[in-house]
């Protein structure tokens, strides 16, 4: 499973091994070692139909602690992977709806536990369906493993409110990946979503707005590396040497941008602030900027 997908290699990414194309996945569906995990915003999509061999990963139930606003602990993550036939040697492909928002989020959560044998399906569920590739409602099962999870290590790739505040005060590189209307404070969520979850609109002082969708083509695939560099480096003056924090509303869209910067452009120091605007916009006496 270490082979590089030629279609992905052609896009000149820093880490082409982090992605596979729909052609590649179609050719590897019968690989007994491969595990495919579907993680969607719409948690009912899996039941409607999914890629053959895919197992459901519910971001509500499987990745988040049921009480504390945090991720699952070591024991729950370990049981999750064991129950899905995954250990450190198992190659995993994530995919989902919304151009892989939640698939990228799941990929990022797995990285918190040091699970690196993972990749995203370029284009996600939408591209697979658009190409009329096989779908099924059958739920696969695999023999459980004896996977031993390490303790979660957050601060390497995860930012907390105090880190975002320090970055803001120092005018560090904060990338707000929400829509322009959310950034200015006109909305507290994207169009066509309930305007809820936060008491105040706007953005973290000093943040630059680079909507996540600019990194994606209309079919949900990622743009090639040269186009991504024009967006993030030519337009926004980011550099691989920068210490970058990404954020959105609850952390999934910013996980998508985290993936772009770290895996596709090779930035070594990028953290996702998953508390994002629901935390910042609700905190007492937290500074907020409005407007563009």
**Would you name the residues annotated as active-site residues?**
248
Q: For the beta carbon of residue 48, count every other beta carbon within 10 angstroms.
A: 9
How many Å separate Cα 189 from the centre of its chain? Answer: 18
141 CA to centre of own chain: 25
E strands along the chain, which residues? 19-20, 35-38, 54-56, 92-95, 118-121, 158-159, 173-176, 208-209, 244-247, 270-273
Distance CA 68, CA 157 (A): 20
**HSE, side-chain direction, 13 A CA sphere, residue 159:** 31
- Other Cβ atoms within 10 Å of 71 Cβ, number: 18
Kindly report each contact of residues 194-201 with a partner whose C-beta sits within 8 Å and lies 24 or more positions away, as own/partner: 197/249, 197/250, 197/277, 197/278, 198/249, 198/277, 198/278, 198/281, 198/282, 199/281, 199/282, 200/281, 200/282, 200/288, 201/281, 201/288, 201/290
Residue 143 CB coordination number (10 Å): 6
Q: Rg (Cα) of the chain, in Å, rounded? A: 19
Residues 6 or more apart whose Cβ sits within 8 Å of residue 200? 185, 188, 281, 282, 288
């Amino acid at each position: 499973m270490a082979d590089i997908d030629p279609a992905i290699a052609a896009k000149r990414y820093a880490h082409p091994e982090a992605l596979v194309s729909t052609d590649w996945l179609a050719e590897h569906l019968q690989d007994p070692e491969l595990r495919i995990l579907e993680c969607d915003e719409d948690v009912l999509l899996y039941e409607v139909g999914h890629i053959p061999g895919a197992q459901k990963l519910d971001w509500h139930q499987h990745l988040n602690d049921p009480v504390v606003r945090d991720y699952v602990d070591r024991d729950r993550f370990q049981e999750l992977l064991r129950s899905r036939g995954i250990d450190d040697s198992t190659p995993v492909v994530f995919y989902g709806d919304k151009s892989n928002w939640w698939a990228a989020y799941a990929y990022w959560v797995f990285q918190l536990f040091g699970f690196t044998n993972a990749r995203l399906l370029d284009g996600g569920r939408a591209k697979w369906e658009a190409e009329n590739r096989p779908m099924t409602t059958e739920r696969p099962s695999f023999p459980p493993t004896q996977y031993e999870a390490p303790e979660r290590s957050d601060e390497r790739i995860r930012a907390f409110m105090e880190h975002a505040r320090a970055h803001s005060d120092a005018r560090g590189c904060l990338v707000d990946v929400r829509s322009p209307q959310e950034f200015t404070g006109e909305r507290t969520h994207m169009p066509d979503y309930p305007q809820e979850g936060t008491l105040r609109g706007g953005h973290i002082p000093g943040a630059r707005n680079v909507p996540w969708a600019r990194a994606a083509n209309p079919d949900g695939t990622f743009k090639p590396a040269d186009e991504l560099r024009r967006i993030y480096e030519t337009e926004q003056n980011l550099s691989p040497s920068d210490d970058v924090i990404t954020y959105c509303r609850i952390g999934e869209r910013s996980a998508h941008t985290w993936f772009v910067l770290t895996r596709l452009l090779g930035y070594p120091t990028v953290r996702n602030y998953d508390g994002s605007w629901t935390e910042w916009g609700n905190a007492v006496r937290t500074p907020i900027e409005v407007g563009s």
